[in-house]
A = this chain, B = another copy of it.
């Protein structure tokens, strides 16, 4: 069976242009079909730029409404039952597509997926799992922003889902799970973190204890667990710092004539490195814990990022990531604190 991916064509800072370009690029090279949700006229205008579009398996889910980045997600979803993100999520719920991709408002995407798919048994909150580079191999940080506030047993569930995901998606045999805190001792951190530490010590995951911010990029952990507020701040600080390094590095290097050539050479190299931390290059972050595949992209997603995210959705469907997460979470004791 040909896998179809449902896409919120209107989600993203520059939608629908790069969304449709990226989706088409993926459909050209992979055996997949596209369901594009949004106003038909806007989507057809973008499709017209691609001569081969008629030869691809593309269906438009014509719907008039769009949820903007600034809108409060819950109210906007209630007010706009025909918003593109809801229509795309519904296509997955109805099994017309195997996965959902959205680069729109993270809050609205999370809520639409949650409302459309429900949660896997044993999961109380979904978590956004971001892949980050480290000094050694890639790691998974979750929650990257689906939940602002978490209870200890939510963090336990994130750990279990993150470990399965690292195994299946990153190929790590026995993922080392670290809990993000402000000291390695189990007495360090907020009350929620300290209680989560206690739960994790007795959980069926390879828990290595607390890790500090310093170790997020060091490669000591394959799965880094935190609440969505901390995770979001951590990732966005990293993005901003890399931007600042790029600028300041340039300033430093341009400051003397003799370093000019070094500057030009190293800027090129730095940009290659930059891609390894750039969310938009990775494509997207899966929303784990909902009963359906959902990949959420950065609002700034380029066509290339969308192409990578759609390819990721396709790969996850083929690898049955969802069923594996479901099995993994079933082994975690149901803890409600």
Q: Which residues of A are in contact with B by a Cβ distance under 8 Å?
A: 70, 72, 133-135, 145, 148-149, 180-182, 185, 187, 189-191, 193, 212-218, 226, 228-230, 232-245, 247-249, 252-253, 255, 258-259, 261-266, 268-270, 272-273, 276-277
Interface pair A259/B265, CB less than 8 Å apart: yes
Most buried by B among A187, A237, A239, A245: A237
Query: How far is B294's CA from A77's CA once the two chains are assembled, in angstroms?
Result: 51
Chain B positions within 8 Å of A185 at CB level: 70, 72
Main secondary structure of the interface of A (DSSP, over half): helix
Q: Which residue of B lies closest to A213 (CB)?
A: B236
Interface pair A187/B148, CB less than 8 Å apart: no
Copies in the complex: 2
Interface pair B244/A218, CB less than 8 Å apart: yes
Query: How far is B263's CA from A265's CA once the two chains are assembled, in angstroms?
Result: 8
Contact A149 B190, CB 8 Å, known A233-B234, A236-B212, A258-B265:
yes
Q: Say how far A111's CB is from chain B's closest CB, in angstroms.
A: 14
Interface pair A249/B269, CB less than 8 Å apart: yes
Chain B positions within 8 Å of A133 at CB level: 244, 248
Chain B positions within 8 Å of A72 at CB level: 185, 187
Q: Say how far A259's CB is from chain B's closest CB, in angstroms.
A: 5
Most buried by B among A180, A228, A242, A252: A252
Chain B positions within 8 Å of A264 at CB level: 262
